[in-house]
Amino acid sequence: MPEVMNESFIQALLRVVSDEQSHRLAIDLDNGQTWLEIDRCATELDWVIIPVPAFFSIEQRTHMLELSGIDVVCCDQQMLPWWQAQGFQIVHCDNGQKARVFCLYRTAEHAPVIPEGTHKITFTSGTTGQPKGVCLSQAHLHTVGQSLAQAIDHLGLSRHISLLPYSVLLENMAVSYANQLAGLEVIALPLAEVGMTGSGQLNMTTMLDAICQHRADSMIMMPQMLKQLVMILDQHPRDLSFINFIAVGGAVCSAQLIEQAQSVGLPVFQGYGISECGSVICLDHQASAPGSVGRPLPHCQLEVAADGEILVQGPQHLGYLEAQQDTVTDPQVPFATGDIGHFDESGHLYISGRKKHLIINSFGRNILPDWIEGELLAIGGILQAIIYGEAEPFLTALCVTQMKQHELHQAISVLNQQLPDYAQLKAAVIVPPFTPSNGLLTASGKPVRSQIFNQHQPLLESIYATNTCPAKAHAI
C-alpha cells in the first residue's frame, strides 16, 4: 500500500506557520501518495507550490531557492542535509510506510516578488542556461485539467499509473487536475517501483510488471519510453489489452513509432503542449491521425504564423520568476510557442520541429532536424538521435543505439534513400545515452542540443575535417 500522510503532519505545518500569509512550499520528494497529499493540502491553504526536479544539480537548486523565496519544504532523508545547510530547521518528521518525510521551515528574510495569483511554479529544465520558473495560476491549471478530462471521458478510464515524476508538469497536470476531475484512481508509486532509477535510467521489465500488477488502464510516457516498450513487446509479447490510454508527450513522436506501437496493440494518443500554456494544448484523443498531436483542446485556439510558428490564444502563464517587465505575458496576445507546425484539412496539428533548432547548412538549405530525428527513432535499435550540421556541408547523426557499427551504417544507408539529398546523413556517431543526470536531457525528454554538441565537439570537428562525405559510422 502507498504511504498516507498523517493528519498530524498537516497540523505540525500549521502550528509553525500559523500566520495567514501565503507561504512558498517546495515539495522535494519521490512520487507517492504523500507528494499528492501535500500538494492538495497546500492548494487548500492557498500556498504557492514549487515541485523540485530530482535531477537538479546543486547549482540549479540554489538558483531555484534564490528565485522563488521558498520558506517551507517537505523532503526525504537524502535531501535533508542540503535543506538544513540552507538554514531550514526540522519542524516535523512523518514516518511513512515507504520513507520518512521531513517538514522544514525558515523565516524568509527576502521574498522575491512573484506574479499575483501564482499557484504553482514549475521549473523548466531549460535547454540553455539556468532553468526558468514558470508561474501558473490555479484557474489556468484547472481549466486545462477540465479540457483533458472532457477529452478522455469517452475512453472510460479508471486507473492511472504515474510513470513520470510529479515534478514534471505533464504528470502533475494529469494527476492533480485532469484525473481528479475525471474521477480516476491514481497509482502513485516510488519511481524505482515503476522502473525509473537514478535520473533517466529505465528498466522496462520492472515498468511492465508494475503496469500489469496494478492493471492500470491509463498512463503517460515520453517517446523514448514508448520506443523501449515497443521493442520489448516485439521480443516478449504480453497481454496488455486492459490498457486503454497511453498518452505520449514531452517531445515529438514520429508517425512510424506510433504505428509500430499500435501494431503491437498499444492504444497510443499523442499530445502537445508547453509549460507556459499549462503543459497540454492538443491531444489526438481519437487516435485518428498517426503523427498528429490532435486538435486543440476546448480551452484554447491555435493559429500558424506566416513562418510556420504555432501561436496559442487562451490561458497562459502569469510570467517568469525574475522576469523583466516587458517579458510579462499579456493574455490578450497569442503566445508564440517557438514550435513549427501545420494543420491538415481536418484540423489536426502536426509538429515539424523547434524554430530555434533550424539548421542552415553551408549551401544555404534550411533543415528542421526534428524531422530527420523522428525518422531515425523509427528504426529499431536507435533509442535517441540528434542531428548536427549548422553551417556544414552535410549532416551528422549522434545516435544512442544498441546496434553495432556496421548495422547502424546499413540502417542509415536505407534511410538515406528516402530522404532528399540535402537531408541525407553522411556520418553517424554512436554516443552514450542522453539523460537528465548528465545534463544532456531535460525532465520532459527533450535533448539539450548545445550541451550534446559541446560534449562531442572534438569528434565532430574531426569528422568535418577529414570526411569527404562517405556514409560511415564512428564509434566512441
Segment among 168-172, 358-362, 464-468 with least mean pLDDT: 464-468
Locate all alpha helices (DSSP H) within 17-123, ordered by sequence: 33-44, 58-68, 80-85
Cell 533509442, residue? 383
Residues ≥6 apart with Cβ < 8 Å to 346: 289
CATH 3.40.190 domain position(s) in the chain: 7-112
CATH of 136-314+331-351, one of 3.40.50.12780, 3.40.50.1580, 1.10.1040.10, 1.10.10.10: 3.40.50.12780
Q: What is the separation of C-alpha 318 from the centre of its chain, rounded to a whole number of angstroms? A: 20
State mean pLDDT over 291-310. Answer: 93
User: What is 358-475's CATH topology?
Assistant: GMP Synthetase; Chain A, domain 3 (3.30.300)
Class of 7-112 in CATH: alpha beta
Q: Which three cell numbers stand for residue 103?
A: 517538514
pLDDT-derived band at 337 (thresholds 50, 70, 90) equals: very high
- CB 408 within 8 Å of CB 401: yes
pLDDT band at 437 (very low <50, low <70, confident <90, very high): confident
Q: Are 250 and 170 in contact (CB under 8 A)?
A: yes
Residue 134 has pLDDT above 90, yes or no: yes
Residue 476: which pLDDT band, with cuts at 50, 70 and 90? very low
pLDDT-derived band at 275 (thresholds 50, 70, 90) equals very high
Q: How much is the pLDDT for 129?
A: 54
Mean pLDDT within 152-164: 96
**CATH 3.40.50.12780 placement within the chain:** 136-314+331-351
Where in the chain do CATH 3.30.300.30 domains reside? 358-475
In this predicted structure, what is the pLDDT of residue 16?
64
Euclidean distance between CA atoms 189 and 164, whole angstroms: 10
